[in-house]
Structure 1
Amino acid sequence: MSNLYTTRVNAYGGRSGTIKSEDGLLDLPLALPKELGGKGGATNPEQLFAAGYAACFENAVIHVTRDGADKVRDNDIEVACEVGMLANGEGGFKLVVTLEVEIAGVDQAKAEEIVEAAHAVCPYSNAIRGNVDVTFKVFAQ
């Protein structure tokens, strides 16, 4: 099976360094957040993960409704992703995620059904399933 898409990003200098994608579109400084004892003032891996997951999950919602009666369009949905970091009790760390999903044009039960279906197909959800606790807050409009 061949990849549908592949990208490459290099990191230099860890959490206080930089990241750059092979195509040059992503070229950012990184900084350890003030909450973790750093200087802040630049993005960090958790923000980048949250951005990627939110965008990917939003597209998964659109994907799972594409052929249904309750088709969700780009302007019908907003996803906010909160990523937290916790000590894992073994000297390391783990992530926790909350996804807030607002879907216009459907009732609450249908919105929850759509989110459940999107969670089953989203590549980010599939990548972290069983390893990262994900909480959903679903809102119909």
Structure 2
Amino acid sequence: MQSTTKTVYTAKVHTVGGRDKGEARSTDGRLDVKLSVPGSPGTGTNPEQLLAAGWSACFEGAIMLEARKKKVRIEHLAIDAEIDLNQESDGYSLGARLNVSLPDLDRTLAQELVDAAHGVCPYSKALKDSIGIVTTLV
């Protein structure tokens, strides 16, 4: 059976140095960041912040997609993403909270959009079975 997957974009990033005094730069130059260990005095960002930014942007797009399907107009939408780096006896793990604000919508409709977005957002689909995720309508 032939695959129907069509790649629409490939992000290419070169990273050296890891979390501690590392650097990451995309091949197109649009991303060029310094990396630091979370909580350290370094001036760079960290992988958890990058995941929070990417996931929340993608999740917002998924909400808008689901709203268009339902012919719902969204005026105000904000997502506060929180990514936890947890230390466990067998190593590290991640946890996530996506706090979604849709103040102009009926709560039932807003919750339907959040739930539907969680089912179509590529980040949510990739992570749903590997980390603890809580989505909350605030």
Say if 2:83 and 2:94, in contact at 8 Å, map to a contact too: yes
Q: Identify the residue that residue 94 of structure 1 maps to in structure 2.
A: 93
AA aligned to 1:52 is G
Give the drift of 1:48. 0.4
Give the drift of 1:5. 1.0
1:15 to 19, 32, 40: 19
TM-score (norm 1): 0.88
Q: Answer yes or no: is 1:125 the counterpart of 2:129.
A: no
Which 4+ stretches in 1 moved above 3 angstroms? Answer: none
Q: Which has the higher helix share?
A: 1
Q: Answer yes or no: is 1:107 the counterpart of 2:122.
A: no
AA aligned to 2:78 is E
Q: Following the alignment from structure 1 to structure 2, what is the Cα–Cα distance between the partners of residues 46 and 119?
A: 19
* 1:1-141 to 2 correspondences below 5 Å: 1-16=5-20, 17-34=22-39, 38-72=40-74, 75-90=75-90, 92-139=91-138
* Percentage of matched positions with identical amino acids: 36
Say if 1:70 and 1:106, in contact at 8 Å, map to a contact too: no
Unaligned runs of 5+ in 1: none
Q: Following the alignment from structure 1 to structure 2, what is the Cα–Cα distance between the partners of residues 7 and 123?
A: 14
Helix, strand or coil: the match of 2:52? Answer: helix
Q: Following the alignment from structure 2 to structure 1, what is the Cα–Cα distance between the partners of residues 71 and 30?
A: 37
Q: Following the alignment from structure 2 to structure 1, what is the Cα–Cα distance between the partners of residues 61 and 14?
A: 25
Give the drift of 1:28. 1.0
Unaligned runs of 5+ in 2: none
**How many residues in Structure 1 have an aligned counterpart in Structure 2?**
133
Q: Following the alignment from structure 1 to structure 2, what is the Cα–Cα distance between the partners of residues 57 and 67?
A: 15
AA aligned to 2:134 is T
Deviations 1:116-136 (A, max 9, x none): 000000000001011111112
